């Protein structure tokens, strides 16, 4: 998984009327959050974290009246742009979305005449570098995506990182080093030993998007024998 650390956050929790937010990063709440928003509201915000930079945002919470109250985010500074995402009801947190060609995103919250809920909570920021991908059997942590931000990778216990563990965001270049390829499992079995290697989460189903490498070594003068006890892909 990926952890983002922010140095400065500006918070907004009022019903916007095409309000323009130009801080490098900030937190946008629905009106009244963490309490409920009101009926018959149409709140709009233009997020422009920094000129000539892509705008990114991450939803941490969304809970609206399903089908009737919705949050829609558009590319650009009005509803004429392409829809980046349109959500209603409950939404799992942590997905990161981005504008594709502009430095603006347009956020619209619309509610109907009956029933309310807690609304939403999202973080937005400007980007010089793309959002870093996750890595199998490891975690990443970074301080943002503007020039000077740092990105660090580390592996789960028992794994070895293949690639650079640290990189820096450089304006006009991107990350200064490519992201690591994967976290490799290194396992040494003594000459008179025996061990069992299993896929992640075994005997349950393995999770998606894995890239697992196993490197098994033994003492000099010994050979390795592999017996497959169970195989189901």
Look up tokens 């619309």; give the residue: 110
pLDDT above 80: residue 8: no
pLDDT of amino acid 11: 72
Share of the chain above pLDDT 70, in %: 92
Q: Is the domain covering 130-233 a CATH 2.10.70.10 domain? A: yes
Tell me the pTM. Answer: 0.64
CA–CA gap between residue 218 and residue 223 (Å, rounded): 7
Helical ranges in the chain per DSSP H: none
The CA–CA distances, whole Å, from 13 to 4, 22, 27, 73, 205 equal 22, 15, 9, 17, 42
Query: What's the CATH number for 2-127?
Result: 2.60.120.290
* Inter-residue contact 140 to 153 (CB < 8 Å): yes
The CA–CA distances, whole Å, from 9 to 5, 61, 95 equal 10, 17, 19
Confidence of residue 196 (pLDDT cuts 50, 70, 90): confident
Nearest residue to 65 (alpha-carbon basis) of 46, 98, 89:
89
Domain-wise residue ranges, the chain: 2-127, 130-233
């Amino acid at each position: 998984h990926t952890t983002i650390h922010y140095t400065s956050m500006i918070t907004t929790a009022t019903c916007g009327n095409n309000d323009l937010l130009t801080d490098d990063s900030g937190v946008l709440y629905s009106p009244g959050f963490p309490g409920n928003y009101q009926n018959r509201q149409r709140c709009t915000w233009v997020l422009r974290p920094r000129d000539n930079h892509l705008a990114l945002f991450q939803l941490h919470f969304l809970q609206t009246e399903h089908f009737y109250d919705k949050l829609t985010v558009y590319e650009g500074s009005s509803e004429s742009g392409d829809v980046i995402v349109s959500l209603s009801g409950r939404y799992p947190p942590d997905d990161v979305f981005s504008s594709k060609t502009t430095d603006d995103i347009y956020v619209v919250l619309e509610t109907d005449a009956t029933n309310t809920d807690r609304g939403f909570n999202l973080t937005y920021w400007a980007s010089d570098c793309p959002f870093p991908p996750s890595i199998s059997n490891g975690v990443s942590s970074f301080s943002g995506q503007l020039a000077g931000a740092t990105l660090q990778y580390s592996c789960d216990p028992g794994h070895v990182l293949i690639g650079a563990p640290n990189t820096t965001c450089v304006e006009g270049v991107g990350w200064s080093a490519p992201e690591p390829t994967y976290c490799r499992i290194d396992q040494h079995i003594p000459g008179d030993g025996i061990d069992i290697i299993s896929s992640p989460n075994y005997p349950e189903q393995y999770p998606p998007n894995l890239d697992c490498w196993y490197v098994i070594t033994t003492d000099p003068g010994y050979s390795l024998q592999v017996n497959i006890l169970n195989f189901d892909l």
